[in-house]
Structure 1
């Protein structure tokens, strides 16, 4: 493979896709947060709702996989 990934075009393309992926993930998370009937941050941090933390973690993994698959093609 060599050092082809260090070429400026490849490197900046990877950075661009990473930023796009993070932005899409964040937008999806905000949409899910707005769809839930309660404040996720309050439930997770203040009330320490472990079950909700597991569900939100699984949701984050699922959205991440979908975004990665969409970017990868």
Structure 2
């Protein structure tokens, strides 16, 4: 029963929301720092190499955010 306590659930949801917000802010900052539009290259031009690099960057940011929250 201890795993189902309401305060644990609220804390998990709050940290999850915080992690998602920090992740998206980091992605937006990196998108602004690059000399070209990442979203346009990924979606419209379907640049597979850039998609792989962005995926690796997203995993790196997610690991950092998870470690910081943990």
TM-score by length of 2: 0.96
Alignment pair present for 1:15 and 2:13? yes
Residue 43 of structure 2: aligned partner = 45
Any gaps of 5 or more consecutive residues in structure 2?
A: none
Residue 70 of structure 1: aligned partner = 68
Task: Give aligned pairs, total.
Answer: 70
Misfit runs of 4+, over 4 Å: none
Any gaps of 5 or more consecutive residues in structure 1?
A: none
Q: Give, in angstroms, the shift of residue 25 of structure 1.
A: 0.4
Matches within 5 A, 1:17-36: 17-36=15-34
Q: Relative contact order: is structure 1 or structure 2 higher (C-alpha 8 Å, sep ≥ 6)?
A: 2
TM-score by length of 1: 0.92
